[in-house]
Amino acid sequence: MQLTLWTYEGPPHVGAMRVATAMRDVHYVLHAPQGDTYADLLFTMIERRSQRPPVTYTTFQARDLGADTAQLFQDAVRDAYERFQPKAMIVGASCTAELIQDDPGGLADALNLPIPVIPLELPSYQRKENWGAAETFYYIVRTLSRPPADDRNGRSRPTCNLLGATALGFRHRDDVNELGMLLRQLGVDINVTAPWEATPDDIARLADADFNVVMYPEIADTAARWLERTYGQPYVAIPPIGVSATRDFVKEVAELVDVDPMPVLADAASRLPWYSRSVDSTYLTGKRVFIFGDATHVLAAARIAREELAFEVVGLGTYSREFARDVRAAARELGVDALITDDYLDVEARVQELQPELVLGTQMERHIAKRQGIACAVISSPVHVQDFPAAYAPQMGFEGANAIFDTWVHPLMMGLEEHLLGMFSEDFEFHNDATPSHLGGSATRGKAAAAETEDESIADVEALTWSPDAEKTLSRIPFFVRGKAKRNTETFALERGIATITSETLYDAKAHFGR
Amino acid sequence: MTPPTTTGAARAITNVDERPVLRERGQREVFCGLTGIVWMHRKIQDAFFLVVGSRTCAHLIQSAAGVMIFAEPRFATAIIGERDLAGLADANEELDREVGKLLARRPDIKLLFLVGSCPSEVIKLDLSRAAERLSRQFMPDVRVLNYSGSGIETTFTQGEDACLASLVPELPRAAGDARSLLVVGALADIVEDQFRQTFADLGIDNVDFLPPRLSTELPSVGPGTRYLLAQPFLTDTSQALENNGATRLSAPFPFGEEGTTAWLRAAADAWDVPERHFNAVTRPGRDRAKKAMERYRERLAGRRIFFFPDSQLEVPLARFLSREMGMELTEVGTPYLHKEHLERELPLLPAGVCVSEGQDVDRQIDRCFAAEPDIVVCGLGLANPFEAAGVTTKWSIELLFTPIHGYEQAADCAELFARPLSRREALAI
């Protein structure tokens, strides 16, 4: 048993729902107890979808368990087929139905429906949402795809499939659009986008494309590998998030299908490189960032943070255990420890310990950062209604890099404001506990200060004493670096066996560690 | 969501209270009882709710909790893993270990509910024995109780019922036969304060509320206890109270001016409060409620409303909206129709209203389109698809999270239904 307050991922059948909901003419019959229908609201409320997800639930109750739940399931499949007339169906069980072992696949098969029925085996007590989405997509591709057509239908331009975008994904809607434009500009046409708005007929012609683009490895990796093995279809697996990654992506595609990347690269529409080099961005230098989310977005964010904004990555981690190896490798390269966990409290403790100036994370980290008074931008699922902005806001491609520059930089205190705070720490407006002027609301400050003192779990640190003058000096340090200054000073004092911290110690520590 | 071409046929029609009731068994688009934790943990301030369930349970509560309220909450899920399924003995040990960790972390907790879920019920993990075992270990600091919030046993608000029913055996036995009044069902603190004042003004002292705000303030119950249900979904709690000798005061529910007055009057009659005194005490509240509701009556009168089953509040609210707001009822769906507790409500519904119990959601959507209501009361999974199809909706979960009981909230309750209509009229896009 694992004690959980908040979860980064839902159960695997929610992953299957994300695939089914993204597609067209597909219906999912889920053997599940009453109550599991809550999952519909993720799509209709968070993503504001205007249609109910294409899911029929058996919603069995206690009284059905003594009777025939298998019959209930078959009735649900038959009714759903008649009512919704899908071109393909997926069937499976949620966690509770898995325990009653009714065999949804076999039961549906016995009905001899005139459409493909794809059974899913998603072990709910071992696996989670992203794995469930990947597995569902893989089964759909394996069942419905056909060998490539003999002729190229008179096509002259190379084509590719965009794989991995689902319902309830972080900016998938806009990424599909942005990546499509980028590839067409490069001279590559899109054969099929899947699961996003793909029909079973579209899946059948996946193999016609020259190659696949794995947009989100968490979801499309399994299917892309199978397509490569089965049809010899190569795939590009560089998520084009950030300017450099987009350039790498363009070059790899260009090489694969032998087109000239230069027009696209020369015409790169991103303002990020210039904005980052311009003098007003100097204050971004060395900003300490902590990154947590799904593996795809964390890996991309680490590269952008370091290479494209000159931040210092002080920590990174992921809840995507399937991709832990990649994240560990990236962390090693950055000289930090990777945090591989799905426990929200571990992440909170790490943020507390590291005292970063910016947190790049999920909605969970947004909350952690808010409680600790740290700036934050959201980079990954799990998502919130705010992560489906009305405005066009891709993460991928050159326009995506523009959106990223804005969303990461805006929560930070601006350069001049930082200096004023440093100079006039007791100014009545620019005082210590002021939040960035453009963010308003000072309500969290008190809590942040309280949170800073809660963290003294290490006995050694507790033994340290702060003299009144040192405390006064500390209080004059602007809040957004105060946590770091306190931690550095304490480390410095412990290393040198200093029991009482004075103002002097604080300045010595500052000299030792630098900014 | 697209309007259908044909209308689904009814499955079974039976009579309750000489009124035909449409009973359906199909897909039920409802929450399970775990959802009640979202408000119950705010109400009992020293209680912690530990769901023993799956990742789905954790995900449900997180999603239902207003699409993520953060702050460290007083609820959590002990997620059953594969190893727990392999051996129940281990599952019990694991549970004890997780509870130990939890209570060490949260010394402020005085009452721990182990909440059963669909998977824990199906694998027959005996949480009542676990609660006894853990209670022995942690008493007197922490009392450990258990109830089921599983979807196979409970629908949405029945989770509150199961929770309160599990508290009843813990209530101290009232000494003697002295009369006392118990108001049963979680109410907003402000509503509780208003009712407490009104009862005091009526001369009814010795009034308690279940649940109490702190688990250390459990009310006593005995043969002298008369209780008023503040919510229509408390079947098991009611039964448990009767087993302890308490007697229910039959009344409509305190929604609207009429409902509140009749509800208060049930208590006043039991305490032999003179009619003149009752009128003098309630007059200002009644007048205020009527005055405040006037402006919403203008907006709501003559509008047609359709209720999908959700919280069991549907019948009392339909009665309020039809009798005091002049709305026209099309279908009033409820997950469960408790004839006895609704005995003073059902006769007040106008003739010809379709009352339905249970659900077959696709057929009900068909009926809803066919009825062409002006406003539909439904859950969050259905609301946006209806809006996208041009049908105005009121999310039903808000009816649980907003104070709507009593005189001072009667107009607020009406406003919840008026706002979506006003909004649709105000929008020129």
Give A290-319 pLDDT, tens digit per residue: 999 999 999 999 999 999 999 999 999 999
Stretch among A136-150, A296-310, A481-495 having the lowest mean pLDDT: A481-495
Mean pLDDT of chain A: 89
Listed residue (B216, B215, B172, B234) closest to B48, CA to CA = B215
Q: What b/e string do you get for B138-157 counting C-beta neighbours within 10 Å, with b at 16 or more?
A: beeebbbbbbbbbbbbbbbb
Query: So what's the pLDDT on residue A449?
Result: 39
Tokens of B8: 């689904």
* CATH architecture for residues B33-154: 3-Layer(aba) Sandwich (3.40)
Check if B69 contacts A (Cβ < 8 Å). no
- Say whether A280 is catalytic: yes
Query: So what's the pLDDT on residue A269?
Result: 74
Closest-approach residue (CA) in chain A for B391: A50
What is the average pLDDT across B378-398? 94
Percent of chain B with pLDDT over 70: 93
Of B31, B72, B77, the CB nearest to A35: B31
Which of B17 and A116 is assigned the larger pLDDT?
A: A116
Query: So what's the pLDDT on residue A511?
Result: 81
Of B1, B85, B381, the CB nearest to A41: B381
A126 chain-B contacts, CB cut-off 8 A: 81-82
Of A11, A46, A76, the CB nearest to B56: A11
Which of A511 and A310 is assigned the larger pLDDT?
A: A310
Query: So what's the pLDDT on residue A423?
Result: 64
Q: Are the Cβ atoms of A44 and B68 closer than 8 angstroms?
A: no
* CA distances in angstroms from B296 to B323, B378, B404, B406, B426, listed in the order given: 13, 20, 14, 17, 15
Q: Are A32 and A93 in contact (CB under 8 A)?
A: yes
Helices (H) and strands (E) in chain B, counts: 16, 15
Query: So what's the pLDDT on residue B71?
Result: 57
B150 chain-A contacts, CB cut-off 8 A: 33, 35
Please, what is the end-to-end C-alpha distance for chain B in angstroms? 21
Query: So what's the pLDDT on residue A271?
Result: 93
Check if A443 contacts B (Cβ < 8 Å). no
Ramachandran category for residue A487: left, alpha or beta (phi over 0 → left; psi -120 to 50 → alpha): alpha
Catalytic residue among A280, A337, A460, A469: A280
Closest-approach residue (CA) in chain A for B67: A384
Check if B116 contacts A (Cβ < 8 Å). no
Mean pLDDT of chain B: 92
Kindly tell me if the per-residue pLDDT of B19 is higher than 80.
no
Select the highest-mean-pLDDT range: A450-454, B343-347, B398-402: B343-347
- Among B35, B63, B80, B361, most A C-beta atoms within 10 A, so best to mutate, is B63
- Residue B357's SS3 state is strand
Query: So what's the pLDDT on residue B321?
Result: 98
Query: So what's the pLDDT on residue B130?
Result: 96
Closest-approach residue (CA) in chain B for A386: B67
User: 10 Å Cβ neighbour count for B298?
Assistant: 11
Query: So what's the pLDDT on residue A508?
Result: 85
Phi and psi torsions of A392, nearest 5°: -70, 120
Q: Are the Cβ atoms of B118 and A95 closer than 8 angstroms?
A: yes
Rounded Cα distance, A195 and A217, in Å: 13
Check if A44 contacts B (Cβ < 8 Å). yes
Kindly tell me if the per-residue pLDDT of A453 is higher than 70.
no
Q: Are A328 and A342 in contact (CB under 8 A)?
A: no
Kindly give the pairing relationship between strand A2-4 and strand B75-79. antiparallel
pLDDT digits (tens, 9 = 90+) for B78-114: 999 888 888 776 888 999 999 999 999 899 999 999 9
What is the average pLDDT across B51-74? 79
Fold entry, domain B10-29+288-428: Rossmann fold (3.40.50)
Check if B77 contacts A (Cβ < 8 Å). yes
Q: Are the Cβ atoms of A38 and B122 closer than 8 angstroms?
A: no
Of A2, A5, A36, the CB nearest to B151: A36
Query: So what's the pLDDT on residue B398?
Result: 87
Rounded Cα distance, B103 and B142, in Å: 9
Check if B73 contacts A (Cβ < 8 Å). yes
Query: So what's the pLDDT on residue B234?
Result: 98
A65 chain-B contacts, CB cut-off 8 A: 122, 152
pLDDT digits (tens, 9 = 90+) for A151-171: 665 678 999 999 999 999 999
The question of ipTM being above 0.90 is answered as yes
Please list, in sequence order, all residues whose beta carbon lies within 8 angstroms of the beta carbon of residue A473, skipping any fewer than 6 positions away: A503, A506, A507
Query: So what's the pLDDT on residue A153?
Result: 59
For residue A94, the distance in angstroms to the closest alpha carbon of chain B comes to: 8
Long-range contacts of A242-245 (CB under 8 A, 24+ apart): A242/A300, A242/A303, A242/A304, A242/A307, A242/A308, A242/A400, A242/A401, A242/A404, A243/A268, A243/A270, A243/A272, A243/A273, A243/A304, A243/A308, A243/A398, A243/A401, A244/A303, A244/A304, A244/A307, A244/A308, A245/A300, A245/A303, A245/A304
Kindly tell me if the per-residue pLDDT of A459 is higher than 80.
no
Q: Are the Cβ atoms of B63 and A3 closer than 8 angstroms?
A: no
For residue A151, the distance in angstroms to the closest alpha carbon of chain B comes to: 40
pLDDT digits (tens, 9 = 90+) for B222-265: 999 999 999 999 999 999 999 999 999 999 999 999 999 999 99
Q: Are the Cβ atoms of B384 and A13 closer than 8 angstroms?
A: no
Rounded Cα distance, B405 and A212, in Å: 59
Query: So what's the pLDDT on residue A469?
Result: 87
What is the average pLDDT across B22-40? 93
Check if B382 contacts A (Cβ < 8 Å). yes
pLDDT digits (tens, 9 = 90+) for A162-201: 999 999 999 999 999 999 999 999 999 999 999 999 999 9
Q: Are B390 and B424 in contact (CB under 8 A)?
A: no
Domain with CATH 3.40.50.1980 in chain B: 10-29+288-428, 33-154, 180-279
Q: Are the Cβ atoms of A95 and B54 closer than 8 angstroms?
A: yes
DSSP structure string for B128-166: HHHHHHHHHHHTTT-EEEEEE--TTT-BTTHHHHHHHHH
For residue B229, the distance in angstroms to the closest alpha carbon of chain A comes to: 25
pLDDT digits (tens, 9 = 90+) for A393-407: 999 999 999 999 999
Query: So what's the pLDDT on residue A345?
Result: 87
Q: Assign B20 a pLDDT band (cuts: 50, 70, 90).
A: confident
Check if B272 contacts A (Cβ < 8 Å). no
Stretch among A281-285, A348-352, B275-279 having the lowest mean pLDDT: A281-285
Strands across the sheet containing A117-119: A55-57, A26-31, A88-93, A117-119
**Which residues of chain B from 149 to 168 reach within 8 Å of chain A, CB to CB?**
150-153, 155
Query: So what's the pLDDT on residue B3?
Result: 59
Strands (E), A5-158: 26-31, 55-57, 88-93, 117-119
Q: Are the Cβ atoms of B119 and A95 closer than 8 angstroms?
A: yes
Query: So what's the pLDDT on residue A442?
Result: 41
pLDDT digits (tens, 9 = 90+) for B291-345: 999 999 999 999 999 999 999 999 999 999 999 999 999 999 999 999 999 999 9
Kindly tell me if the per-residue pLDDT of B385 is higher than 90.
yes
- Among B70, B82, B103, most A C-beta atoms within 10 A, so best to mutate, is B70
Of A83, A96, A363, the CB nearest to B119: A96
A33 chain-B contacts, CB cut-off 8 A: 32, 118, 150-152
Check if B92 contacts A (Cβ < 8 Å). no
A49 chain-B contacts, CB cut-off 8 A: 384-385
Q: Are the Cβ atoms of B380 and A65 closer than 8 angstroms?
A: no
Q: Are the Cβ atoms of B56 and A10 closer than 8 angstroms?
A: yes
Kindly tell me if the per-residue pLDDT of B286 is higher than 60.
yes
Fold entry, domain B180-279: Rossmann fold (3.40.50)
Tokens of B171: 């209530």
Q: How many residues does chain A have?
A: 515
Strands across the sheet containing B75-79: A2-4, B75-79, B47-53, B111-116, B143-148
Rounded CA Rg of chain A? 26
Check if A52 contacts B (Cβ < 8 Å). yes
What is the average pLDDT across B269-290? 97
B58 chain-A contacts, CB cut-off 8 A: 4, 6-7
The DSSP output letter for A396 is B
Q: Assign B72 a pLDDT band (cuts: 50, 70, 90).
A: low
Kindly tell me if the per-residue pLDDT of B32 is higher than 90.
yes
pLDDT digits (tens, 9 = 90+) for A234-282: 999 999 999 999 999 999 999 999 999 998 998 777 899 999 999 989 8
Rounded Cα distance, B219 and B242, in Å: 15
Closest-approach residue (CA) in chain A for B386: A50
pLDDT digits (tens, 9 = 90+) for A42-90: 999 999 999 999 999 999 998 888 788 999 999 999 999 999 999 999 9
Kindly tell me if the per-residue pLDDT of A455 is higher than 50.
no
Size of interface A-B (CB pairs under 8 A): 187
pLDDT digits (tens, 9 = 90+) for B181-191: 999 999 999 99
Of A59, A62, A128, the CB nearest to B55: A128
DSSP structure string for A196-221: TT--HHHHHTGGGSSEEEES-HHHHH
* CA distances in angstroms from B307 to A240, A348, B17, B161, listed in the order given: 48, 43, 20, 22
Q: Are the Cβ atoms of B55 and A40 closer than 8 angstroms?
A: no
Q: Are the Cβ atoms of B152 and A56 closer than 8 angstroms?
A: no
Q: Are the Cβ atoms of B77 and A99 closer than 8 angstroms?
A: no
